[in-house]
Chain A
Amino acid sequence: MQNSFLARNPSTLIFLAALALFTIVVTLLSEGLGMGFVSTSFVKTLGKTLCLGLVAISMDLVWGYAGILSLGHFAFFGLGGYMIGMWLMYERTRDVVVSSLADAPIPASAQELNDAIATQIFGVVGSAEFPLIWAFSDSLVLQLALVVLVPGLLALAFGWLAFRSRVAGVYLSILTQAMTLALSLYLFQNDSGLRGNNGLSGLQNLPGLTDVPQALVSLWFLWGSALALGLGYVLAAWVVSGKFGSVLRGIRDDEARVRFLGYSVESYKLVLFTGTACMAGIAGALYYPQAGIINPAEIAPIASIYLAVWVAIGGRGRIYGAVIGAVFVSLLSSWFTGGRAPNIDLGFYTIQWVDWWLVVLGLSFVLVTLFAPKGIGGLFDLISSRIMPDRHGADLGPDDGALREREARE
């Protein structure tokens, strides 16, 4: 315990080094600054993948460490994306409108300008007025604050209601699914104020920086995502390394016992749920500018289930496991569904991966859960036990109650 944080968590250092190396290599190979081996769209894919890694960390904290199987964390991710999307869309539309009105003989009044922007943005849902929730959309600082506040407050309200009534286990999972479903259905409505099923688009264009090529913008976001992932990783590792982590794992393993030790389990769950929701919001705010578009389908219930699948395949209860799972599965998924995987011709039937990928994913989820509950992360245990064999504490005999190592030595 007296050792420094990094000495106790060597995996953190290894992870940060790998992340830095990855970012540098991609930058050197990119079209924006380097040799051009990696296309801009692939840089964006990689940047998005890093954001998925960050949201997977938040999922691992709630599920892997505290045992709360939240199937709604993508709602927070999506909300973060919507919040930054509002500013991006407003500012960019304003730029366009201002430049088109600049040629008019009479300079437009503020009201006219506002109406023109509103018509431009909301014309598609048959409205020409800014809804109330766009009140702060002209301020980057406020919208950035909302990226954290909106998911955080939703999680706080939801968590307060659910945890206070001691909803746990599968019932909580169902409730979180209902939350994300309700939110996505609400946002699908045209009068939700966020352009219904059209969602927010054109988010890849940074206002005021239209002459900067996307090749460069994609790198900025890659760096930003890598930085956020690195910071999120260190924060998560720090949170779970101390007594807070002990209490979380205690809650996962025996909630009632933690209560009888005097810890208010409900407050811990609430703090964790809210904190990870904020983290997911930040990940979403970095993800959607790289995706370019966000719509309510992004926060459909299935998205949060995928998140759980990533974490399960990567390995619950270890932070790098979550990141590896998210990166590995989502990249593989985009390879299969992107039509790049060669179809397999069986003669009587052709396996088209676009259709069959989900079956493979579902099957591997079941197999991992049954046969390798530690997931991909479990492989690292094999490696580390090869390098540093730790055979202490094992029974010396075949029976229960046989001499243990310490006793045998005496």
Chain B
Amino acid sequence: MNTLLEVSGVSVSFDGFRAINNLSFRIASAEMRAIIGPNGAGKTTFMDIVTGKTKPDEGRILWGEKSVSLLGLSEARIAREGVGRKFQKPTVFEDQTVQENLLMALKNKRGPFSVLLYRAKNDDLARVEAFAEEIGLADALMRKSGELSHGQKQWLEIGMLLAQEPRLLLVDEPAAGMTPAEREHTTNILVEAAKTRAVVVVEHDMEFVRRLDCKVTVLHEGSVLAEGSLDHVTANKDVVDVYLGR
């Protein structure tokens, strides 16, 4: 198994509170993984650490075939390395059209000067349209994304994530606020993406996790409590105690 991301022995504390405690985690370059855990288990902090928002106190984070350390890199640099993140609350640029949002996310050079001279070519516009098609916003390309409904913003953000063409997708509660049909669509998109890249889904909804049909990591108090198939972890007594039993 070729590892894309390897997190080992990572700890971080905020004002003495150990949010992440000697956490180790690894994911292959084409794998789907669900992370579950009660509130405060450190799921979001884990994402913050991988994306460079939070610097861990100790531990290693290695990335890619060459095992580059992500520790000293800025958020933007890590994103350019191929880590894409979707936030729990949809954060799209509301003042701009769906097309502008997608164009900004589209994989292209990110430096200020190349962006300054960048003009969207038909090729790029076609790619944007294809992504918009996939997320059901093809008719809304010229609409300001602030006008979209909550569900549509979720979609737009998923579309932006795909347009970045990341090698690792970190997805925080993708199905929150979606209708059953939309959940199904989201599942399909994520499963499809996991064929070629690594996808980490943080989710509360067990039904959704079951449908993803993948390995599950249970976090508790900042470290891994159990790992395995959903049936395996739900049969684990510790897991039942801290999470499912509540």
Interface residue ranges, A against B (CB under 8 Å) = 1-2, 239, 242-244, 246-247, 249-250, 253-254, 256-257, 259-265, 267-268, 271, 393, 401, 404, 406
Question: Can you offer 30 A-B residue contacts whose CB atoms are under 8 A?
Answer: A1-B125, A2-B125, A239-B116, A242-B118, A243-B115, A243-B118, A244-B118, A249-B93, A250-B104, A253-B94, A254-B93, A257-B87, A257-B91, A257-B93, A259-B74, A259-B79, A260-B76, A260-B79, A261-B79, A261-B164, A262-B76, A262-B79, A263-B110, A264-B74, A265-B76, A267-B111, A267-B112, A271-B116, A393-B144, A401-B149
Q: How far is the CA of A263 from the CA of B116 in the complex (A)?
A: 13
Whether, in the assembled complex, B96 has its beta carbon less than 8 Å from a beta carbon of chain A, the answer is: yes
Whether, in the assembled complex, B195 has its beta carbon less than 8 Å from a beta carbon of chain A, the answer is: no
Q: Is the CB of A264 within 8 A of B77?
A: yes
Contact with A along B87-119 (1 / 0, CB 8 A): 100010111100110011100001111011011
Whether, in the assembled complex, B143 has its beta carbon less than 8 Å from a beta carbon of chain A, the answer is: yes
Whether, in the assembled complex, B51 has its beta carbon less than 8 Å from a beta carbon of chain A, the answer is: yes
Count of chain B residues with a beta carbon within 8 Å of a chain A beta carbon: 40
Q: Is the CB of A271 within 8 A of B104?
A: no
For B150, give the chain A residue with the smallest CB separation.
Answer: A401
Looking at chain A's contact residues, the main secondary structure is helix
Whether, in the assembled complex, B139 has its beta carbon less than 8 Å from a beta carbon of chain A, the answer is: yes
For B91, give the chain A residue with the smallest CB separation.
Answer: A257
Q: Is the CB of A393 within 8 A of B93?
A: no
- Known A1-B120, A242-B119, A261-B105; further 13 A-B contacts with Cβ < 8 A: A1-B99, A2-B122, A247-B115, A249-B96, A259-B75, A260-B51, A261-B79, A261-B104, A262-B164, A263-B115, A264-B111, A268-B112, A393-B143
Q: How far is the CA of A401 from the CA of B152 in the complex (A)?
A: 11
Residues of A within 8 A of B100 (CB): 246
Q: Is the CB of B110 within 8 A of A262?
A: yes
Residue from A244, A259, A393, A406 within 8 A of B115 (CB atoms):
A244
Given A253-B95, A263-B110, A267-B112, do A243 and B76 touch, yes or no (CB 8 Å)? no
Residues of B within 8 A of A257 (CB): 87, 91, 93
Q: How far is the CA of A401 from the CA of B150 in the complex (A)?
A: 9
Residues of A within 8 A of B118 (CB): 242-244
Residues of A within 8 A of B147 (CB): 393
Q: Is the CB of A264 within 8 A of B119?
A: no
Q: How far is the CA of A250 from the CA of B74 in the complex (A)?
A: 18
Whether, in the assembled complex, B160 has its beta carbon less than 8 Å from a beta carbon of chain A, the answer is: yes
Q: Is the CB of A249 within 8 A of B95?
A: yes
A378 to chain B, nearest CB (A): 15
Q: How far is the CA of A261 from the CA of B162 in the complex (A)?
A: 11
Residues of A within 8 A of B110 (CB): 262-264
For A401, give the chain B residue with the smallest CB separation.
Answer: B149
Given A257-B93, A260-B51, do A246 and B104 touch, yes or no (CB 8 Å)? yes
Q: Is the CB of B104 within 8 A of A243?
A: yes
Residues of A within 8 A of B197 (CB): none
For A270, give the chain B residue with the smallest CB separation.
Answer: B112
Q: How far is the CA of A261 from the CA of B105 in the complex (A)?
A: 6
Q: How far is the CA of A252 from the CA of B82 in the complex (A)?
A: 24
Residues of B within 8 A of A265 (CB): 76
**Residue from the set A2, A246, A406 with the largest chain B CB neighbour count within 10 Å:** A246
Q: How far is the CA of A263 from the CA of B113 in the complex (A)?
A: 12
Residues of A within 8 A of B95 (CB): 249, 253
Residues of B within 8 A of A267 (CB): 111-112
Contact with A along B57-84 (1 / 0, CB 8 A): 0000000000000000011110110001
Q: How far is the CA of A393 from the CA of B122 in the complex (A)?
A: 26
Residues of A within 8 A of B149 (CB): 401, 404
